[in-house]
Amino acid sequence: MQMRRLWQVDAFTTQAFSGNPAGVVYPSDGLSQEMMLRISRELNNSETAFIYQWEDADVQHIRFFTPKQEVPLCTHASVASYHILATELGLPPGSHQMLCEAGLLPITIEYETEHPTIYITQKEGLFGPILSEQQKQQLLSALRLSASALYEDLPLQIVSTGNAKVLVGLKSKQTLDTLFVQRDLLIALGSELGVPGFYLYTFDQAEGEVVAHTRMFSPGSGVEEDPVTGNAAGALALYLQQYTNRIHQGKAIFMQGEAIKRTGLVIVQVNQNRATVLGQACTVFEAMLNV
């Protein structure tokens, strides 16, 4: 039995009890996959990050688990992890690399305040299938919506920057904010598509630098609703660059979490077909994990 440090970190915010909470465990060496899953279930955040020991290396090995399964990449938990690496574990500012199931990804830490800014360059964008008419009807049933709620000129499409999402555009923020999904239908559709996550967005009431308001549902992976989602934000930025003129000077800001009182902001920089997500975080508590 080994004592390990555990932090609860709110990502994409600098205010506690907002943004997206993630568990961060260090060191994670010696933990089995089943034990990591048990810890994730115990914490019951959308994701928990497990950082392996590092010694003056530029590569940090991290694994990510929902309460149900391991996922290849979780950007908000990456922000949380590098916040802890910088503020608690002595990782210096500058360029680093994160080794995760999605591959080797570039990381930059800018440390000018107590809340370092973390830059996470996601994998090259991959535009997958557009939903068929039958799948569109399944989605509308799962969301309890009519076809008139959707943008007619923006396809319902699977896009990935390391962890694929179905992107769904809604005309009304009120519709977005008041959604109550039929989880069994959404899980069934996600299983059919091989993509459990559905990222909903609207341009309605987006003001200033905010491009869209968003919500993220992934009950098939054990996440009923993710408060603020970095993976999906990167995919959406590339999607909007492809289909619209809403990405100005290669930058987009998305606001998420308002409907569940955990508001956060995700900043995305777009360079051709790569998205870099910027985020800050704050530590809520630290504990010792005796496993």
Q: What is the pLDDT of residues 223-272, one digit of tens each?
A: 999 999 999 999 999 999 999 999 999 999 999 999 999 999 999 999 99
Q: Which CATH architecture has domain 126-272?
A: Roll (3.10)
The secondary structure element, H or E, covering residue 281 is: strand 281-290
CATH level 3 topology of 3-104+279-290: Diaminopimelate Epimerase; Chain A, domain 1 (3.10.310)
**Known catalytic residues?**
47
Return the number of other C-beta atoms located less than 10 Å from residue 180's C-beta: 7
Mean pLDDT of 196-221: 97
Q: pLDDT grade, residue 114 (50/70/90)?
A: confident
User: What burial class does residue 63 get, using C-beta atoms within 10 Å of its C-beta: 0-12 exposed, 13-18 middle, 19+ buried?
Assistant: buried
Q: Where in the chain is the domain with CATH 3.10.310.10?
A: 3-104+279-290, 126-272
Here the tokens at position 115 are: 């809340």
What pTM was estimated for this model as a whole? Answer: 0.95
CA nearest 157: which of 74, 239, 252, 271? 239
Q: pLDDT tens, 53-74?
A: 987 688 999 999 999 999 999 9
